[in-house]
């Protein structure tokens, strides 16, 4: 596409390109396509900067100032006219863009290229629905609210029981520790000395 556009517009000045675009802007869908193609060429080659009023401007600012058009609107029409030129001339770029956004560019081609020109919007809507995947109803098979409530109550009971067991075990450890300490204080060991005496030691 760009190669073809370069052959068409490279030899023209920016003024000539703009005038050609303006002349075909609002005549018919086919001429509108020429308008979009001219702007596509200008953006690709950055030749809008050759217009002395827009040498440092962005393409969006150039579009707004020169053609009262936003870049987002231009892009919608560009995609429509360049991807689906015949369908865009048949139905208009607005409808083509709508179909693309609804079903994607691949499925859009299957719809747009098979419908006759006088197809009404209802038939196009039906065609879009026909290519979309069926929505599967999602059913929730998990526990009900009362069941969840019962599970939470049971879980809390288990936690309380565990806490009770831990507390009891902690008390047992404290009692055992106290018993061991008393044993060391009260009982020592008696070691017989060689002289027949004895040495009583109490482990601290």
pLDDT in tens, 65-74: 998 889 998 9
Task: Looking at the structure, tell me whether residues 93 and 149 fall in a common domain.
Answer: no
Strand partners, 199: 191
Task: Looking at the structure, tell me whether residues 127 and 165 fall in a common domain.
Answer: no
Task: Looking at the structure, tell me whether residues 89 and 167 fall in a common domain.
Answer: no
- Domain final residue pick, 106, 131, 156: 131
Distance (Å, whole) CA 91 – CA 118: 9
Tokens of residue 110, six digits: 């299957």
The phi, psi pair for 23, rounded to 5°, reads: -65, -30
Strand partners, 198: 192
β-strand pairing of 198-201 with 189-192? antiparallel
Task: Please give the residue that has the higher pLDDT: either 77 or 92.
Answer: 77
Task: Please give the residue that has the higher pLDDT: either 203 or 181.
Answer: 181
Per-residue DSSP letter, 135: P
Task: Looking at the structure, tell me whether residues 124 and 150 fall in a common domain.
Answer: no
Task: Looking at the structure, tell me whether residues 127 and 150 fall in a common domain.
Answer: no
Task: Looking at the structure, tell me whether residues 14 and 69 fall in a common domain.
Answer: yes
Tokens of residue 53, six digits: 């009023």
Task: Looking at the structure, tell me whether residues 105 and 159 fall in a common domain.
Answer: no
The phi, psi pair for 101, rounded to 5°, reads: -65, -30
Contact 154, 162 (CB under 8 A): no
List pLDDT tens digits, range 4-42. 888 888 888 888 888 777 776 656 666 788 888 889 999
Over residues 165-180, mean pLDDT:
82
Half-sphere exposure of 164 (CA within 13 A, CB side): 6
What total number of domains does the chain contain? 2
Please report whether residue 137 resides in a domain.
no
Task: Looking at the structure, tell me whether residues 94 and 120 fall in a common domain.
Answer: yes
Please report whether residue 106 resides in a domain.
yes
pTM above 0.85, yes or no: no
Tell me: pLDDT of 190 over 50.
no
Mean pLDDT for the chain?
A: 78
Task: Looking at the structure, tell me whether residues 102 and 14 fall in a common domain.
Answer: yes
Tell me which residue range forms the domain holding 19.
Answer: 2-131
Residue-level length of the chain: 204
Distance (Å, whole) CA 131 – CA 98: 15
Over residues 58-79, mean pLDDT:
91
Contact 67, 25 (CB under 8 A): yes
């Amino acid at each position: 596409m760009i190669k073809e556009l370069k052959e068409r517009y490279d030899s023209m000045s920016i003024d000539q390109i703009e005038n050609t675009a303006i002349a075909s802007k609002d005549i018919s869908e086919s001429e509108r396509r020429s308008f979009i193609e001219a702007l596509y060429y200008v953006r690709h080659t950055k030749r809008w900067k050759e217009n002395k009023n827009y040498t440092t401007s962005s393409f969006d600012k150039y579009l707004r100032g020169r053609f009262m058009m936003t870049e987002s609107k231009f892009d919608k029409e560009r995609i429509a006219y360049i991807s689906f030129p015949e369908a865009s001339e048949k139905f208009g770029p607005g409808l083509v863009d709508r179909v693309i956004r609804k079903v994607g560019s691949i499925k859009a081609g299957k719809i747009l290229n098979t419908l006759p020109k006088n197809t009404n919007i209802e038939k196009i809507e039906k065609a879009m629905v026909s290519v979309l995947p069926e929505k599967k109803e999602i059913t929730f098979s998990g526990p009900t609210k009362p069941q969840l409530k019962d599970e939470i109550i049971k879980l809390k009971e288990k936690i309380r029981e565990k806490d009770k067991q831990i507390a009891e075990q902690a008390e047992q450890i404290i009692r055992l520790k106290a018993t061991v300490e008393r044993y060391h204080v009260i009982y020592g060991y008696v070691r017989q000395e060689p002289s027949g005496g004895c040495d009583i030691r109490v482990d601290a």
